[in-house]
Chain A
Amino acid sequence: MDPSSGDRRGFLNYLLGTGALASLGAVFYPVIRFLIPPKVVESSASSVVACKASEIKPNAGKVFKFGSKPALLIQLASGGYRAFSAVCTHLDCTVQYRPDEKMIWCACHNGRYDLTGRNISGPPPRPLEEYKVNVRSDEIVVSRG
């Protein structure tokens, strides 16, 4: 066996070792990244942080994304919170809170809902679906029934 073939074998082994490490790296890099929790820790379809308590005032409403549809968070003048689906039951426009009239209004065809979500005037045929609201430290969490 001549020295050069031994060198070649040694070089090949060196390459194999490096290649093995690189391959393992290519496989385990995604695995390690996978194990680290992502920024958003939970899926958002059944429970969502609507906003921070400081971001909404009494007698005000805020539209936020809940699953793939808009939802409406209302802080009542008395301080409590209510949340509803913001999809109008007439023709799917996005409703809004009217602080001047303290009720929920749909701009499309003047549909009105009271603060329990019940349709009280205009074309909407059904009430708005109500969601549960909980306050967790300074976050307002809205979840489906």
Chain B
Amino acid sequence: MNSWISRAGDWLEERLGWRAAQELVQHKEVPIHRHSIWYYFGGMTLFLFGIQVGTGILLLLYYRPSAETAFESVQFIMTEVQFGWLIRSVHSYSANLMVATAFVHMFSTLFLRSFRRPREITWVSGALLLFLSLTFGFTGYLLPWNTLAFFATKVGTDIAGVLPVVGPFLLRFLRGGDEVTGATLTRLFGFHVAVLPAITTVFLGLHLYLVQKHGMSTPMSVDPDAVPKMKFVPQFVLRDLAGWLAAVALLAALAALFPWELGEKADPFAPAPAGIRPEWYFMFMFQTLKYIPARILGIDGEFLGILAFSLLGALLVLTPFVASGQKREGRVDRVVLVGIIVVIYIIVLTTLGYLG
């Protein structure tokens, strides 16, 4: 048995040169310190993304992306297809879980300053991946074509339209027209299953390559040479796996106990129902826009709000170049301070959004 495996390995080595990768994996090490727990969140996000791709492809076998058929096809998946309820609910819950772990992964690498030299591009690609996951969420949300999704998309694209210069173009680009129609559905579907996966593949590949190249970063308080380490294979991988299995169990429980809602088929001519809300990961921005006064110093309030968030987004991408890689002794750590303020802001505004 073993000789059979090694002979197969040799055959592949001659053609693919795969042993180099095997070497890399076997030599990879993970530092052990009091912040090691955060190392799991990147892999968890990747695992959940894998679940999204898998369940997404399965859903593609039955979903129909037109205004006349989308809702009925999702209803069909939930009621007639064997375990359709499971695949669809897992897809929805895993999407939310993935965005949550992506945020945790981003904040942990921020607070631990993993973005410092030489990992700037890793950070930039990661920030872009975060925005891509939010875009996946936004485009996927419309696909069941129910009332909530329809109006959330209308409000979301309305907000995009407020941006100066590019706003009107962006609105028409996203909607496939002036209003949210079946054209919007087909277009966002195309984005969701083809365009975004293609772009994500590029940046994800870059991100993963860079992580392997630079190895795991350590917090500044830790000496990278002296810190104890565990081997990636098998120690870290087994722990990773345990976490992934726990995630699968959680998703299965959520799907079985709280199946994702179907809602009612969208009616473009009906008035907007009360209580339209975006998904939770957009809630803090949505709630902020509600609080901004209509005009500030003569400028449209909504526009200022969106401008502010756009600037913050740009700042996030450029963090390695604007934030200090060093922690200055004796002075308040600005990166941590800003980070904590942002986290608290997000939590408070999201909570207010659900209470209001």
Contacts and interface: CB of A to CB of B under 8 A. Distances in A.
- Establish whether A and B are touching in the complex (CB under 8 Å): yes
Interface of A: 23, 27, 30-31, 33-36, 38-40, 42-46
Nearest to A19: B245
B72 A34 contact: no
A46 B82 contact: no
Contacts of A23: 245
B248 A35 contact: no
A46 B68 contact: yes
B69 interface: yes
A31 B87 CA distance: 8
B184 interface: no
Contacts, number: 43
Contacts of B68: 46
Interface of B: 54, 58, 61, 64, 68-69, 71-73, 75-76, 80-84, 86-87, 245, 248
A71 B54 CA distance: 39
Contact of A42 (B71, B76, B82, B245): B76
Nearest to A34: B83
A143 to B, nearest CB: 11
Contact of A34 (B69, B75, B76, B87): B87
A43 B58 contact: no
B81 A38 contact: yes
The SS class assigned to the B binding surface is: helix
A141 B54 CA distance: 35
A43 B83 contact: no
Contacts of A31: 54, 58, 83, 87
Contact of B61 (A30, A35, A40, A45): A35
A90 B87 CA distance: 43
A27 B84 contact: no
A44 B76 CA distance: 8
Given A33-B83, A45-B69, A45-B72, 13 more contacts: A23-B245, A30-B82, A34-B58, A34-B81, A34-B86, A35-B58, A35-B61, A40-B80, A43-B69, A43-B72, A43-B73, A44-B72, A45-B75
A52 to B, nearest CB: 21
Contacts of A42: 76
Given A36-B82, A40-B80, A46 B69 contact: yes
Given A30-B87, A33-B82, A34-B83, A43 B75 contact: yes
Nearest to B245: A23
Nearest to A16: B238
Most chain A Cβ neighbours within 10 Å, of B58, B80, B87: B80
A33 B58 CA distance: 11
Nearest to B255: A30
Nearest to B73: A43
A30 B86 contact: yes
